[in-house]
């Protein structure tokens, strides 16, 4: 049995079928990339898997249990980093973190953990509304990791990050999968795609395995 499986996930907005039976399988410790054009439904798919949107049909199986029917387990198992930054703009970075971490855990992570790796301590007392896009993304990733999830859903996680931070995140994601974590990664970035053990194209609402070359030209042709 595969550890993670998407089975026939469907979603329609009025008459527009965004997802028409999206399915894939992978084992724990894998990074699976999902490629697709703008408006192909990639972000919609991740938001369904994160429990933000409701699927019209289908299942999200983790070791055989359907997480779409078990919100408590889904929240424990899955961490989600959306394309935007779902932070409270009027609060400081510290106060946003304390909505996810207890104080002792947060201080430990800032001292020698993921929050230190992300450099969150550099802007801990700043109001989120005053942070750059890259700082907000780093803070969002930190919040998503608060429960040490087994599965990470990443929607273009390195967007707006500088090259050193991208490199640090790449190292972290590799360590996460080596430790048995599983990543579903939506990306347009070739460097991010190179992290993946397997790639899928989301086109016309269906996920299809992609075995082509990792080049802009090859990917663009496959998505047309």
Q: Which two tokens stand for residue 219?
A: 């990917």
What is the per-residue pLDDT for 8? 96
What is the per-residue pLDDT for 86? 84
Pairwise CA distance, residues 1 & 92, whole Å = 44
Per-residue model confidence as pLDDT tens digits over 50-80: 999 999 999 999 999 999 999 999 999 999 9
What is the per-residue pLDDT for 192? 82
pTM of the model: 0.88
Q: Distance from CA of residue 6 to its chain's centroid? A: 15
CA nearest to 42, candidates 72, 11, 64, 68: 11
Q: Which residue has the tokens 């972290």?
A: 172
What is the per-residue pLDDT for 211? 81
pLDDT along the chain (224 residues), means of 10: 88 92 95 89 95 96 94 94 89 96 94 89 96 88 91 88 82 90 89 88 92 64 59
Query: What domains sit in the chain, N to C, each tagged with a CATH number?
Result: 4-223 (3.40.50.300)
| DSSP-assigned beta bridge partners for residue 22 | 9
**Are 19 and 10 a contacting pair, CB within 8 Å?**
yes
Pairwise CA distance, residues 111 & 115, whole Å = 8
- Strand pairing report for 182-186 and 31-35: parallel
């Amino acid at each position: 049995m595969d550890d993670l499986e998407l089975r026939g996930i469907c979603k329609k907005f009025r008459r527009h079928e965004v997802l028409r039976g999206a399915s894939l399988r992978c084992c724990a410790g894998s990074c699976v990339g999902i490629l697709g054009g703008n408006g192909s439904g990639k972000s919609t798919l991740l938001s369904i898997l994160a429990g933000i949107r409701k699927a019209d049909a289908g299942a999200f199986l983790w070791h055989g249990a359907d997480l779409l029917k078990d919100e408590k387990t889904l929240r424990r198992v899955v961490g989600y980093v959306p394309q935007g930054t779902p932070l409270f703009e009027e609060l400081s970075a510290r106060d946003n973190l304390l909505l996810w971490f207890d104080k002792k855990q947060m201080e430990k992570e800032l001292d020698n953990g993921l929050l230190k790796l992300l450099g969150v301590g550099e802007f801990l007392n700043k109001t989120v509304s005053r942070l750059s896009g890259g700082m907000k993304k780093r803070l969002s990733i930190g919040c998503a990791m608060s429960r040490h999830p087994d599965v990470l859903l990443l929607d273009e996680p390195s967007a707006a990050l500088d090259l050193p931070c991208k490199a640090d995140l790449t190292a972290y994601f590799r360590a996460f999968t080596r430790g048995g974590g599983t990543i579903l990664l939506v990306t347009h970035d070739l460097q991010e795609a190179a992290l993946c053990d397997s790639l899928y194209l989301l086109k016309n609402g269906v996920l299809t395995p992609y075995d082509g070359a990792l080049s802009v030209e090859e990917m663009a042709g496959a998505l047309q």
